[in-house]
């Protein structure tokens, strides 16, 4: 068994090297203008992250992101609409009178999130516009004192999430474009440069850190989801200090990669990684349509199939999906958004064995599609998106004996046969597994292959057949 694990690791290393070579090739092709763009998964994360504290995150696979703020009132782009000067800051703030949260039912939100199959949720406590959802003693813009809601909407949501045993993530924007203490106001207006007025910047840091401490003390989140670090270097944000202060007394809290250099995991955004990111921990954040917050004019919703495509892609590459919803200003959630979450949830429930706690799958050379592996690497899960035209799926280069093949979610045993296997050499042959039409799932049918030990991948080039 030990030996098989080693073989698997060696083969993985070989594959990584192959992948590095293909990345180089890709880079060269980009350079020569052949291929459009490579992905940026390079955001710096800490090298010495405590692996113990990452266990729940690694096993969770799905989180629900919530962008809720003033921008839902007019259905415009969160914060960016005034920053990019599509409307004035003054007009943007007029939305305060429409942010009622009149139909806000935090328990229903938490139930929906739980039913989606997510194990955690990340809520925008404050976006770049500086509007805080909780009763902060800092700043001048929050749901209690300034919006029609006249109440703290963050606390009841966090309570409801905890009640449902969901892990809690707090999104916090480092920039606050509405604060007079902050450097940037809009794309064409800067208030000041840090070098010109370090005292004012220090006042901003005090304000920002004051809010962070409030959030820490009020909610003891499991995860901090920072955003907006691109506006200043880590030294200006004093990101090391922020990390130390947030982890003080709460060492198991996880921090995302956008507290530059101080994060525990990478956060690619929208672009589904084409290749497996190298980072051990990563999470793709993704919208359901093309907007983070609620925008009634944006109907470009991904279908349930597409949402599940993206989810399966992430987990097969060893990552999580942080899928976003944008509730309306009254606190209700658009029926399409609800439907997508519930559909994803029922698919996950049926296939939970192939999802939670699994590891990234095997290279595509062995199977035409995404895969995951059980923790002990003795069960390989194959995700079949389409109906195989001859009713068979094909697996290649697996040296193990397949003890049993069955359909996850209903247990149907599947028959298999092997071709091109010669008894005198090690080439494992090609396995064909029957997948009758009655077993096909609406989105992905998942086939489990129970192996005789940890998976052993074969990648040699066979030589001449020397006897017959
Ligand atoms: O600018 C934001 C954007 O509005 C949104 O919040 C996303 C979510 O990941 N993050 C930022 C850009 O990276």
For 352, residues 6+ apart whose C-beta sits below 8 A from its C-beta are: 117
**What's the rounded Cα separation, in Å, for the pair 175 and 193?**
14
Domain shared by 424 and 454, yes or no: yes
Q: Is the distance from the beta carbon of residue 78 to the nearest atom of ligand 1 less than 6 Å? A: yes
Of all protein residues, the one whose alpha carbon is nearest to atom 4 of ligand 1 is: 78
Q: Is the distance from the beta carbon of residue 324 to the nearest atom of ligand 1 less than 6 Å? A: no
Domain shared by 118 and 29, yes or no: no
What is the DSSP secondary-structure string of 143-163?
A: TTTTSTT-S--HHHHHHHHHH
| Beta-sheet pairing, 402-407 with 445-451 | antiparallel
Domain shared by 187 and 231, yes or no: yes
Domain shared by 369 and 267, yes or no: no
Domain shared by 196 and 296, yes or no: yes
Q: Is the distance from the beta carbon of residue 269 to the nearest atom of ligand 1 less than 6 Å? A: yes
Q: Is residue 99 part of a domain?
A: yes
Q: Is residue 452 part of a domain?
A: yes
Tally of domains in the chain: 3
Q: Is residue 227 part of a domain?
A: yes
Q: What's the CATH number where 307 sits?
A: 3.20.20.80
**What's the rounded Cα separation, in Å, for the pair 376 and 373?**
8
Closest atom of ligand 1 relative to the 67 alpha carbon: 6
Domain shared by 227 and 263, yes or no: yes
For 31, residues 6+ apart whose C-beta sits below 8 A from its C-beta are: none
Q: What's the CATH number where 458 sits?
A: 2.60.40.1180
Q: Which residues of the chain have pLDDT under 70?
A: 1-43, 467-468
Closest atom of ligand 1 relative to the 128 alpha carbon: 1
Q: Is residue 137 part of a domain?
A: yes
Question: Which residue among 350, 375, 396 closes a domain?
Answer: 350
Domain range holding 11?
1-38
Beta bridge pairs of residue 282? 266
If you count them, how many residues does the chain have? Answer: 468
Question: Which residue among 350, 384, 404 closes a domain?
Answer: 350
Q: Is residue 288 part of a domain?
A: yes
What per-residue confidence (pLDDT) applies to 466?
Answer: 73
Residue 416 CA, ligand 1 centroid: distance in Å: 47
Residue 428 CA, ligand 1 centroid: distance in Å: 47
| C-alpha distances in Å from residue 59, one per residue of 110, 139, 212 | 20, 37, 27
Closest CA to 446 of 324, 308, 354: 354
What per-residue confidence (pLDDT) applies to 42?
Answer: 52
Domain shared by 148 and 235, yes or no: yes
What per-residue confidence (pLDDT) applies to 423?
Answer: 82
160-181 pLDDT, tens digit each: 999 999 999 999 999 999 999 9
What per-residue confidence (pLDDT) applies to 39?
Answer: 38
CB atoms inside a 10 Å sphere around CB 251: 10
CB atoms inside a 10 Å sphere around CB 455: 26
Closest atom of ligand 1 relative to the 230 alpha carbon: 13
Beta bridge pairs of residue 405? 414, 449
Q: Which of 227, 228, 324 to mutate to test the pocket of ligand 1 (most atoms within 8 A of CB)?
A: 227
Q: Is residue 43 part of a domain?
A: no
Q: Is the distance from the beta carbon of residue 292 to the nearest atom of ligand 1 less than 6 Å? A: yes
Domain shared by 449 and 362, yes or no: yes
Domain shared by 309 and 213, yes or no: yes
Domain shared by 247 and 395, yes or no: no
Q: Which of 269, 294, 322 to mutate to test the pocket of ligand 1 (most atoms within 8 A of CB)?
A: 269
**What's the rounded Cα separation, in Å, for the pair 258 and 223?**
12
What per-residue confidence (pLDDT) applies to 468?
Answer: 67
Domain shared by 433 and 389, yes or no: yes
Domain shared by 206 and 339, yes or no: yes
Question: Which residue among 350, 380, 410 closes a domain?
Answer: 350
Closest atom of ligand 1 relative to the 124 alpha carbon: 6
């Amino acid at each position: 068994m030990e030996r098989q694990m080693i073989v698997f690791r060696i083969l993985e290393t070989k594959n990584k090297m192959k992948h590095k070579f293909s990345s180089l090739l890709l880079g060269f092709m980009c350079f020569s203008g052949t291929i459009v763009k490579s992905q940026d998964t390079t955001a710096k994360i800490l090298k010495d992250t405590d692996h113990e504290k990452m266990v729940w995150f690694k096993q969770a696979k799905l989180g629900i992101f919530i962008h809720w703020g003033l921008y839902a009132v007019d259905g415009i782009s969160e914060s960016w609409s005034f920053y990019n000067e599509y409307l004035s800051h003054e007009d943007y703030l007029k939305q305060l009178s429409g942010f009622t949260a009149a139909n806000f039912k935090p328990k229903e939100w938490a139930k929906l999130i739980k039913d989606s199959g997510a194990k955690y949720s990340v809520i925008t406590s404050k976006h770049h516009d500086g509007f805080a959802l909780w009763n902060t003693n800092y700043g001048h813009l929050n749901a209690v004192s300034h919006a029609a809601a006249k109440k703290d909407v963050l606390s009841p949501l966090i309570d409801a999430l905890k009640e449902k045993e969901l892990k809690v993530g707090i999104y916090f924007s480092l920039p606050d474009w509405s604060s007079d203490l902050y450097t940037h106001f809009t794309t064409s207006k800067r208030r000041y440069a840090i070098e010109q007025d370090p005292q004012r910047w220090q006042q901003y840091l005090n304000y920002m850190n004051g809010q962070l401490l409030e959030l820490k003390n009020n909610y003891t989140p499991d995860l901090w989801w920072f955003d907006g670090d691109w506006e200043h270097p880590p030294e200006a944000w004093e990101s090391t200090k922020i990390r130390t202060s947030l982890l003080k007394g709460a060492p198991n809290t996880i921090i995302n990669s956008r507290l530059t250099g101080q994060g525990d995991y990478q956060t690619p955004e929208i672009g589904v990684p084409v290749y497996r990111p190298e980072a051990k921990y990563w999470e793709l954040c993704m919208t359901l349509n093309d907007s983070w917050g609620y925008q009634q004019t944006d109907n470009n919703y991904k279908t349930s199939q597409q949402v599940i495509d993206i989810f399966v892609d992430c987990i097969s590459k060893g990552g999580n999906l942080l899928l976003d919803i944008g509730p309306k200003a009254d606190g209700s959630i658009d029926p399409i958004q609800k439907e997508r979450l519930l559909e994803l949830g029922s698919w996950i429930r049926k296939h939970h064995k192939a999802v939670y706690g699994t590891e990234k799958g095997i290279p595509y050379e062995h199977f035409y599609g995404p895969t995951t592996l059980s923790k002990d690497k003795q069960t390989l899960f194959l995700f079949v998106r389409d109906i195989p035209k001859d009713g068979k799926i094909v697996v290649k280069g697996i040296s193990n004996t397949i003890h049993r093949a069955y359909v996850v979610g209903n247990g149907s045993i599947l028959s298999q046969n092997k071709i091109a296997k010669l008894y005198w050499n090690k080439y494992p042959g090609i396995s064909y597994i029957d997948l009758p039409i009655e077993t096909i799932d609406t989105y992905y049918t998942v086939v489990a292959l129970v192996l005789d030990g940890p998976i052993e991948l074969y990648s040699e080039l066979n030589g001449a057949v020397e006897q017959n």
